[in-house]
Amino acid sequence: MDPVSKRDVLKASGGLATFALAGCLGNGNGGGDGDDGSGGGGGGGTTSIGVGIPSATTTSGSASNSLQRVVEEVSGDTEPAGEIRWNNQETGGDPPSLRQYNQGNVRAMTSGNFVIASALQDALPFSEQPVEEVPHQMFSLAPLHMQILAVEGSGIETTDDLVGNNLWPLPPQWGLRSQAEVVLQNVGLWSELQDTNSIVNAGTDQVAGRIEEGGIDAIISYGSGFASLPGWATEVDARANLTPVEWTDSFIEGTNSTRGTSHSEIEAYGWENQNFNGDNIDIYGADFQFFLSPAISRDVGYELARISHENAESLRNGQPAYSDHSDVETMASLFLENHPVHAGTYDFLEDQDVDMSAYTRGDIQG
């Protein structure tokens, strides 16, 4: 069947209003030069898959590096798919990864569901430069728990105190930054933060130093999968004294009005050098998955799912926040409804008796 564009699907589903995305969406790109095995069948040979990750110090990048290692170790035993090479490429963020995907430079990627949903709706950060193609869902990576923390002594106690202080809302090119901006817009703070020059734009490698220099008063950070902090946050944990920022009722209401985002409270984890570790803190969620081009064969997709399931312990040794795929239900736990699941993953999960009736099996191209 001919590929279906995201605009055709959204038109058929009645518009862009809901986060529950509709239809047989997105066609992937066949990939750059030197990538083999992009057809619909297996048949052996080598399939080299370029994978867009933000950076190795992020949770998603570290998880994909763990998958790359395991795939390299076991890919000799993946018939009929042939040898699989999972090659991570740092792009700087999820939106850049998706643009690289559309340019044919990568054929898989890690991403938050917020970014994928935004791309399908031509919403921020794709409102001015939409993308045409969106890869299929592969399997869960990890849920992230977004939190706002103040530097001790800053005077920031609640979210009402953020304006006029220096807030670091993650790197500008990240999908998580886009999500944070939308949250802050919906709670009515983003314009005020900009007008008062309160926004600090810096990379993760600069944050700890900027805090020590007094240039940052509060940060948006996250824990991953109830297991750990990303690498950059462990450096902040070691070098700064932080306190959780209390969310006001209006901040919670605005967060809950953001697509695919909701407020909850959890016990803080991973902050080994902070007094609040183990205390209840306010968070909003950000679910992350692996995504795979439908130009990658069904057999390769099936083998990648099998590898992730059968090597769950090794994968989590590499990145503790990597979702525990020894439980096949967990592999499907973060799927967006009505956005295609790669045919290989879909078939693997069905073979493992996972109920896939709520999801669409993607068409293989090529």
290-335 per-position pLDDT tens digit: 999 999 999 999 999 999 999 999 999 999 999 999 999 999 999 9
Torsion of CA 45, 51, 57, 62, to 10 degrees: -50
Q: Please give the average per-residue pLDDT across 54-58, as a whole number.
A: 93
Looking at the fold, whether 152 and 202 belong to one and the same domain comes out as yes
Burial of 153 (0-12, 13-18, 19+ CB in 10 A): exposed
Quick check: is 250 in a domain? yes
Judge if 124 and 34 occupy the same domain.
yes
State the pLDDT at residue 13.
35
**What's the pLDDT band for 29 if we cut at 50, 70, 90?**
very low
- Considering the domain architecture, whether residues 267 and 220 belong to the same structural domain is answered as yes
Tell me: pLDDT of 2 over 80. no
CA dihedral 166, 167, 172, 176 (to 10 degrees): 180
Q: Is residue 49 part of a domain?
A: yes
- Give residue 44's pLDDT: 64
Q: Could you report the per-residue pLDDT of 188-222, keeping only the tens digit for each?
A: 999 999 999 999 999 999 999 999 999 999 999 99
Domain check: are 49 and 172 in the same one?
A: no
Q: Closest by alpha carbon to 259, among 119, 132, 67?
A: 119
pLDDT tier at 82, thresholds 50, 70, 90: confident
Asked if residue 361 is part of any domain, the answer here is: no
Q: Does any domain span residue 214?
A: yes
Give the model's pLDDT for residue 95. Answer: 96
> Rounded distance, CA 216 to CA 239, Å?
13
Whether residue 60 is predicted with pLDDT greater than 90 in this model: the reply is yes
Within 10 Å of residue 73's Cβ, how many Cβ atoms? 12
Q: What pLDDT is recorded for position 75?
A: 81
On whether residue 91 sits in a domain, the answer given is: yes
**Predicted local distance difference test score (pLDDT) of residue 9:** 39
Mean pLDDT of the region 88-108: 98
| Element (DSSP H or E) covering residue 82 | none
CA dist 121 and 114 (Å) reads 11
**Which residues are CB-contacts of 7 (< 8 A; sequence separation ≥ 6)?**
none
| Global confidence as pTM | 0.84
The dihedral sign for the CA sequence 330, 266, 113, 170: negative
Nearest-angstrom CA–CA distance, 59 and 244: 21
Is the same domain home to 163 and 258? yes
Same domain, residue pair 16 and 57: yes
Q: What pLDDT is stored for residue 45 in this prediction?
A: 87
Residues of the chain with pLDDT > 70, as a percent, come to: 87
Give the residues across from 341 on adjacent strands: 137, 361
- Tokens linked to 260: 């695919």
Q: Are residues 69 and 192 both part of a single domain?
A: no
Q: Is residue 359 part of a domain?
A: no
Please check whether residues 228 and 261 belong to one and the same domain: yes
The tens digit of pLDDT for each residue in 245-277 reads: 999 999 999 999 998 899 999 999 999 999 999
% the chain with pLDDT above 90: 83
CATH classification at residue 231: 3.40.190.10
Structure tokens at 301: 């997709």
Tokens at residue 318, please?
A: 């590499």
Spell out a b/e string for 213-223, using b for 16 or more CB atoms within 10 Å of the CB, else e: eeebbbbbbbb
The residues that bridge with 282 in the sheet, in sequence order, are 265
Q: For 39-53, write each residue's pLDDT tens digit.
A: 333 456 899 999 999
Based on the fold, state whether residues 116 and 201 are members of the same structural domain. no
Q: Does an H or E element contain 198, and which?
A: none
From 270, 286, 302, give the residue that closes a domain: 286
Domain assignment present for residue 357? The answer is no
- DSSP-derived 3-state class of residue 267: strand
Instruction: Quickly state the pLDDT bin for 64 (edges 50, 70, 90).
Output: very high
Task: For 115-157, write each residue's pLDDT tens digit.
Answer: 999 999 999 899 999 999 999 999 999 999 999 999 999 999 9
What was the pLDDT predicted at 37?
35
Q: CB-based burial of residue 249 (10 Å sphere; 0-12 exposed, 13-18 middle, 19+ buried)? A: exposed
Domain of 311 in residue numbering reads as: 6-143+287-351
Residues 93 and 178 in one domain: no
Token match 């690289």: residue? 100
pLDDT exceeds cutoff 80 at 11: no
Does the pLDDT value for residue 113 go beyond 80?
A: yes
Per the structure, the count of domains in the chain is 2
Residues in the chain: 366
Q: Please list the helix, strand and coil fractions of the chain in percent, rounded to the nearest 5, in that order.
A: 35, 20, 45
Round to whole Å and give the CA distance between 192 and 267: 30
Count other Cβ atoms within 10 Å, centred on residue 56: 12
Among candidate residues 286, 308, 323, the one where a domain is terminated: 286
User: Which among 236, 264, 286 is the end of a domain?
Assistant: 286
Given this model, what pLDDT does residue 77 score? Answer: 64
| Same-domain status, 275 and 212 | yes
264 & 312 share domain:
no
Does 362 map to a domain? no
